[in-house]
A and B are shown apart, each in its own frame.
Chain A
C-alpha cells in the first residue's frame, strides 16, 4: 500500500539567485550562483550529490548543462519539463528518489533564461510543427478569459473586479519591496494598476507578472541524515500534482471560474499533510500569481476563501504579510517575474527561509506550515503542483 511522502524527505540547503533581467548571467552562471549558495547553506559540495533533477522549459535540453555548471562527476541527472510546475516536478521526483531509498543526498534545480529572447511578452514555443490553425494565445489572454467570465458569472461590474485584482498586485509589490532578490522592489498603488495600459482586456500591465531570468536549487536528503547536517532542516509534508487531460477545453460545461487542477492537487497535498482547514493551519503560501486573476481564483480553489467570495477576504486583508494567511510574502511572480523552470523552487526557498526564521523583514511569526503552488498551461488544461512544508 502506497504511503504519504510526509516526513520522509528533508531540505538541508537552498540557494536562489537574484531574479530579473540578468543580462550578465548565462544559464550556467545562474546555476553556479544558486547552486553554491545551496552548497554553503548545507555545508556540502558537488561530490556529495548522488543524483539530480533539473527543470527548465525552454532554455536547454538533457541534464548536461547542470553537470557542466556544477561540475558533477557523471551522476544521473533528469531534465524535467512540466510548464510552470517544472521546478516543483523536479523537486518532487528528487524527493521520490530519496523516499524510495535509492539515493541519500540529491539536488533539485530549476532555472530559466528568458531575457535572451527578443520578443515582447512570453514567446515560448517550438516543438513539432502543427497544422497551425489554433490561435496563438499568449498567457495574459488565456487568463483574461477567466477574468471576463468571473465578472459575468458572479455578476460583478468589471470595475469592481479590477479594483480587487489591483489590491492583489499592490500587496505583492509591498512584499517584494522587502526582498533583495526580487526583480521589482517598488511599492505601487491601486491607481497605478487601474491606469496601466491594457495588455489583454480585462487585464492590464500591472495584472501581469514579468518575464525574467532566475534559478533556485534545493539539496534534499532523508531526515536521519538531515539531523546530522543541521537542526533547522525543513520537512516535506505533502506534495500534490494534477495534470489535465484537457477536460476543461473539451467539455463545454467547464465554467472558467475555477481551475480544477488546483482543487485536485491541493486535495492530494492536504490529505498527505493531514490538513483540514487550510486557512487556519497554513501560515504562508507562495502561489502562482502569473496574473492577478490567477491569484484570486487560487484563494477559492485552495480553500482559502469560499467560492465566489474571495474578494471579501482581499478587502479584509486576510492575505497580507501580517494577515491570517500571508500569500506571496516574498513578492510572488509579480515581483520576481517568471523564469518558468525556476519559479517553483524560488517559492520553496521562501517557505524554507520562513520556517527557519531567516526571512528578515518579511518574517512571519513562528510559522509551522508553508505551502507552495504552481499552475501552468491555460484555463481548461493545466499542470498544477501544491507542496506543503513544515518542521
Chain B
C-alpha cells in the first residue's frame, strides 16, 4: 500500500503581524526573507523530510510551485543538488495551479504503484506576490512542504483518490505578470472554490465508500479564512473535524498550503485515524488517507508547530516592501553593479556551492573548504573525500558588520564559520537580529538565493542562528 513515508516542512522565520509598524492586517503572515524563494524553501522542506532518511534513497523529485524562478530551466534539478539527492533520478517541475502540489502527489502515487520509483519526494513551495495593501497581501503566506511517497514504512497510507478539473478564471496570473489577479469575490468563492470542492468531495466519498463522519480530520486549503468556514459548512463538517486553516498564523501558502495543513494534521494524528485531504486550484484533488502504527516510529523533526512557534515579527512594513523589491530606496552608497556569474564556473562548482561539500584529505584528515586538489596541510594531491558541511553544526568564530555593503540587508553580517569535525568558511548570516550576534554562538546552514544577475538566480548557503532546538 503506497503512502507517506516521511514529511518535512518549512515556514520562513519572519512575520507581518500586529506590532509591525505600518501593517494593518489582523492576522499574522509568514513572509520569506529577501534571500528566499520557492527553490530555497523547497530545499529547506526537503532537508527536513530527510532528517533521518538517506538522501540517496530518493528516486524521483517532483517540485510544485506557481512561483518558480525560471520559465525555462528546471528548478527540481537545483533543489536536488541543494538537498544532496542523486542525479540518476527523475526530476520534474509541476506548475501553473495552486493544485500543483497535490497534482504532484497524485503522480508520485501512480509512479510508486507502477513500480517506476521506490521513493518519490514531492515538494511544494510558493511565495506569491500580492499588490501592496490588497486583501491578497493580508491572506497570502510563504512556505514549503515535502511528502516522501513510497511503499515501505508507510506512516499514512493513501487509499483513495479522485480529481475533477474546473475551468474558471477565478484567481490567476499571466506568465508575463508579477501579481495575482482575481475576479469578483462572490463569483470566485461560489462558482470556483465552493462549487468545485463540494462536487469533488461528494463524488470522492461515493468512490471511497465513506462519509465525512469516517474522518478524524478533513483537511482542505481555501483562499482565505472566510472561504474556509463557508466550505466547512457546505461539506457538513463538525467543528472538531476541520483541520485548522492556519490563516491567522501562516497565510495561504499556495501550492504548499494543502501539504502543510496535512503535515500539521499528521503531527497530532493517531494510528488508525482516517484523514480526508482536498486541494483546490482549477479543480480539486481529493485523497483518503489512514495513519498507520508506523507513525509512532517516525523520528522527530521540525514540523509545523515548531516552525510556527519560532518566529520573529518584522518591525515595519517598509522592510517587507524592500525585501520584495516593491520599494527600492537609494542605498546611500555607490557600489559597483553585481557582475554576471560565470555559468562555466557555476557548473564546475556545483559540488562546492550547491551541495556545500568540503574536502577531507585521506592522508591527514584535514577538512578544507572549498575543496583543494592539493591538501593545504600535507600537500597530498587529488586524494580526498567530500564532506557535506550543510548538515554540520557550526560555531561563529568571528564576524563583522558591513554598513556600506549597499545590500538589501544592511548591515551585512560577514562571518567566519567553524564546522564541527573540521573545516571553515567565510559566509554571510541571514535571519538574524544584530543585537543577538556574538562570537562562539551556534549556527546552522540555510540554502538561499544570493541575487539575480543577467537572468541567473545564484544560489548558495548562508549561516543562521539555530532557529529551533531539537
Contacts and interface: CB of A to CB of B under 8 A. Distances in A.
Contacts of A147: 400
B414 to A, nearest CB: 5
B424 interface: yes
A66 B453 CA distance: 37
A160 B324 CA distance: 41
B323 interface: no
Contacts of B339: 125, 129, 132
Interface string B407-441: 00001101010110011101110000000000110
B353 A133 contact: yes
Interface-centre pick from A132, A141, A147, A198 (highest chain B CB count, 10 A): A132
Given A149-B439, A200-B403, A252 B398 contact: no
Nearest to B456: A132
Interface-centre pick from B399, B426, B439, B458 (highest chain A CB count, 10 A): B426
A135 B336 contact: no
B179 interface: no
Interface residues of B, number: 50
Nearest to B372: A250
Contact of B402 (A123, A129, A137, A251): A137
Interface in A228-252: 245-247, 249-252
Contact of B404 (A129, A199, A249): A199
Interface-centre pick from B341, B367, B398, B453 (highest chain A CB count, 10 A): B398
B342 A200 contact: no
B369 interface: yes
B216 to A, nearest CB: 47
A227 B72 CA distance: 74
Nearest to B348: A131
Contact of B342 (A130, A140, A152, A197): A130
A247 B375 CA distance: 10
Contacts of A202: 400
Contacts of B111: none
Interface stretch (A11-19, A24-32, A114-122, A316-324): A114-122
B318 to A, nearest CB: 22
Contacts of B341: 129-133
Given A130-B341, A132-B341, A256 B411 contact: no
A134 interface: yes
B460 interface: yes
A135 B414 CA distance: 8
Contacts of B403: 197-201
A145 interface: yes
B338 interface: yes
A200 B402 contact: yes
A121 B460 CA distance: 26
A128 interface: yes
Contact of B369 (A148, A152, A247, A250): A250
Contacts of A137: 402, 414, 426
B413 to A, nearest CB: 10
B468 interface: no
A138 interface: yes
Interface string A246-268: 11011110101000000000000
Interface in B157-213: none
Contacts of B342: 128-132
B345 A131 contact: yes
Contact of B426 (A119, A134, A152, A201): A134
Interface-centre pick from B403, B411, B422 (highest chain A CB count, 10 A): B403
Contacts of A135: 412, 414, 426-428
Nearest to B332: A120
Contacts of B399: 145, 148
B439 A246 contact: no
A202 B411 CA distance: 12
A140 B450 CA distance: 21
Given A120-B404, A131-B341, A200-B401, A125 B336 contact: yes
B376 A251 contact: yes
Contacts of B71: none
Given A118-B334, A246-B376, A252-B367, A200 B422 contact: no
Interface in B299-351: 333-336, 338-342, 345-346, 348-349
A119 B334 CA distance: 5
B458 A133 contact: yes
Given A130-B345, A131-B345, A119 B336 contact: yes
Given A123-B336, A129-B339, A145-B399, A252 B424 contact: yes
Given A133-B460, A137-B426, A246-B376, A144 B400 contact: yes
B416 A133 contact: no
Contacts of A120: 333-335, 404, 406
14 contacts: A120-B406, A129-B339, A130-B345, A131-B348, A132-B340, A132-B450, A132-B453, A138-B402, A200-B403, A202-B400, A246-B376, A251-B424, A252-B419, A252-B424
Given A135-B414, A201-B403, 20 more contacts: A118-B334, A119-B335, A120-B335, A129-B342, A130-B342, A131-B348, A133-B349, A133-B450, A137-B426, A138-B404, A145-B398, A145-B399, A148-B399, A199-B404, A202-B400, A203-B400, A245-B376, A249-B426, A250-B424, A252-B367
